[in-house]
């Protein structure tokens, strides 16, 4: 089947033939057609196209009698000379109602070619064409594609190209340019002229970014041609640990998984195994988390054990990096804050205290073994008790923040937007938003109070009458 553009073209040719036939046959009475007397070319002569492809305009002939009237049903023979092939609905073709016969011509190899249409013993009609190279065939990569080497290194094989004219002969003297957008990459030379064979080459020094790199070849009048290569990271020169700084570890068995990466001189990540260790293994340990639900490599996991600060180190050969890590060593911790991960099994926080775990809503509070209270999470009403004057705008704290006042507590219980705690002396303290019955007494005209104002109350029994 012919494509839509081709069908339109054939219909236009047929229409023009019909008009021609009507003009020649117009008379006051019925006209009689005579025998074939002429075979004329209508479309498709003297075309130029890429070798191996169909010409854009079909070959069309029209058979006429001596009076110039179109003849239908006449067989037309087509003969290819010089390569290529023809495509038509039937071979040989038969003229339609307006005397037209149409074929498509697929060119052969480079050079001049011809097709002869003939019928009825008349002199044949010759169509000529010339097959040339397409643009993609005129500019080609001869060598140097898909190489691999280390960043900043010069590839072993030169990038060689060839430029040809449409007729397939070398385009001697054509200016060829090379370029790349990869940082640090360059060519030597950047421009060159094609030799007697239409060839030129250059050396490509890879850029400093590891991974796939792309360069291009340009010649005026041609679309650019791309050349690809793969750049490997260089040898490691330093190690980095992230996140930096490391987050605080609050409760026993809380963990952090630092990412240690070896990098080359250009800061590309180098895939090597780095050893993790702790300076004081009584404060943190390197090992697995006690659950099968967390898929972390135990060699990369830092787990809290005891209150204190120590250093973790990552090392590969003589390369190393270290960061401090602090373990707060909480003896009790609420279950609802955003800072700690959920526990999938019972975890021992501390023993012998006789305390219950506090309840929480959107913030969390916990005690150290010495009774120091820490709170973190939302702080829109001063419920963290850190004494901040901008608690109404800081929204929340991501890290445990000490409650001001220095009061040692025995228990601490977060509420929806307030916190209450019982000191070791037995005094009760509350801070945060004021709601009815949340504190023993209310301050007139005050909607909230941070822990810089801790109010205490003592419970007393009601006497009975």
pLDDT for residue 87 is more than 70? yes
- Choosing among 2.102.10.10, 2.30.130.10, 1.10.420.10, 2.60.40.10, the CATH entry for 4-27+34-132 is 2.60.40.10
The domains spanning 135-232 and 238-327 adopt the same CATH topology = yes
Domain ranges, ordered by start, for the chain: 4-27+34-132, 135-232, 238-327, 350-457
Q: What is the pLDDT of residue 341?
A: 46
Q: Residue 452 corresponds to which tokens in the numbers above?
A: 């810089």
Question: By mean pLDDT, which of 16-25, 34-43, 362-371, 392-401 is the weakest?
Answer: 16-25
CA atoms within 13 A on the CB side of 323: 20
Lowest-pLDDT range, 13-22, 183-192, 421-430?
Answer: 13-22
135-232 maps to which CATH number? 2.60.40.10
* Range in 69-83, 320-334, 350-364, 426-440 with the lowest mean pLDDT: 350-364
Q: What is the pLDDT of residue 375?
A: 82
- 238-327 folds as Immunoglobulin-like (2.60.40)
Q: Which of the residue ranges 232-246, 318-332, 447-461 would you say has the lowest mean pLDDT? A: 447-461
Nearest to 217 by CA among 133, 152, 136: 136
167 pLDDT tier (thresholds 50, 70, 90): very high
Q: Which of 55-64, 71-80, 146-155, 423-432 has the lowest mean pLDDT?
A: 423-432
294-339 residue pLDDT tens: 455 556 788 888 889 999 988 888 888 899 999 887 654 444 443 3
pLDDT at 155 over 50: yes
Q: Taking the mean position of all CA atoms in its chain, how far away is CA 266?
A: 22
CB 215 within 8 A of CB 190: no
User: Greater confidence, 187 or 241?
Assistant: 187
Is residue 27 over pLDDT 50? no
pLDDT, tens digit, for every residue of 264-274?
A: 999 999 998 88
C-beta of residue 61 within 8 angstroms of C-beta of residue 94:
no
Average of pLDDT values for 270-284? 88
Taking the C-alpha atoms of residue 278 and residue 291, their distance in angstroms, rounded to an integer, is 22
Whole-angstrom distance, CA of residue 31 vs CA of residue 9: 29
Least confident of 57-71, 426-440, 442-456: 442-456
The pLDDT score that the predictor gives to residue 443 is: 30
- Nearest residue to 64 (alpha-carbon basis) of 5, 23, 27, 104: 23
User: Across the chain, what does the average pLDDT equal?
Assistant: 80
Taking the C-alpha atoms of residue 145 and residue 112, their distance in angstroms, rounded to an integer, is 34
Q: Strand pairing partners for 140?
A: 162
């Amino acid at each position: 089947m012919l494509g839509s553009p081709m069908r339109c073209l054939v219909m236009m040719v047929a229409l023009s033939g019909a008009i021609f036939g009507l003009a020649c046959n117009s008379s006051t009475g019925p006209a009689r057609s005579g025998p074939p007397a002429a075979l004329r070319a209508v479309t498709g002569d003297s075309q130029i196209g890429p070798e191996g492809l169909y010409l854009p305009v079909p070959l069309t002939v029209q058979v006429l009698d001596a009076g110039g009237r179109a003849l239908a049903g006449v067989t037309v023979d087509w003969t290819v000379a010089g390569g290529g092939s023809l495509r038509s609905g039937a071979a040989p073709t038969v003229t339609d109602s307006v005397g037209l016969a149409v074929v498509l011509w697929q060119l052969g190899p480079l050079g001049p070619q011809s097709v002869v249409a003939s019928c009825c013993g008349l002199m044949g009609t010759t169509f000529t064409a010339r097959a040339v190279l397409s643009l993609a065939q005129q500019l080609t990569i001869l060598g140097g594609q898909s190489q691999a080497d280390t960043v900043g290194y010069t590839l072993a094989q030169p990038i060689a190209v060839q430029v040809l004219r449409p007729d397939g002969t070398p385009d001697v003297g054509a200016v060829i340019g090379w370029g790349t957008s990869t940082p640090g990459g360059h060519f030597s030379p950047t421009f060159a002229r094609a030799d007697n064979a239409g060839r030129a080459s250059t050396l490509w020094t890879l850029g400093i970014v590891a991974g796939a790199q792309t360069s291009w070849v340009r010649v005026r009048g041609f679309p650019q041609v791309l050349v690809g290569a793969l750049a490997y990271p260089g040898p490691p020169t330093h190690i980095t640990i992230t996140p930096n700084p490391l987050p605080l570890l609050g409760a026993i068995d809380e963990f952090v998984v630092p990412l240690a990466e070896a990098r080359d001189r250009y800061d590309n990540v180098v895939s090597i195994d780095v050893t993790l260790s702790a300076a004081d293994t009584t404060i943190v340990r390197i090992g697995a988390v006690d659950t099968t639900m967390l898929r972390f490599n135990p060699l990369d996991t830092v787990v809290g054990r005891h209150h204190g600060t120590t250093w973790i180190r990552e090392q590969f050969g003589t390369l190393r990096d270290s960061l401090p890590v602090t373990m707060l060593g909480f003896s009790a911790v609420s279950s609802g804050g955003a800072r700690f991960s959920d526990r999938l099994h019972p975890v021992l926080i501390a023993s012998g205290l006789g305390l219950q775990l506090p309840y929480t809503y959107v913030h969390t509070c916990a005690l150290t073994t010495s009774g120091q209270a820490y709170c973190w999470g939302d702080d829109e009403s001063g419920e963290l008790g850190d004494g901040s004057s901008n608690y109404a705008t800081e929204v929340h704290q991501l890290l445990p923040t000490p409650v001001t006042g220095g009061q040692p507590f025995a228990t601490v219980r977060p509420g929806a937007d307030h916190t209450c705690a019982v000191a070791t002396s037995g005094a009760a303290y509350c801070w945060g938003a004021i709601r009815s019955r949340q504190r023993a007494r209310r301050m007139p005209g005050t909607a909230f109070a941070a822990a810089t104002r801790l109010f205490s109350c003592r419970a007393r029994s009601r006497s009975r009458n």
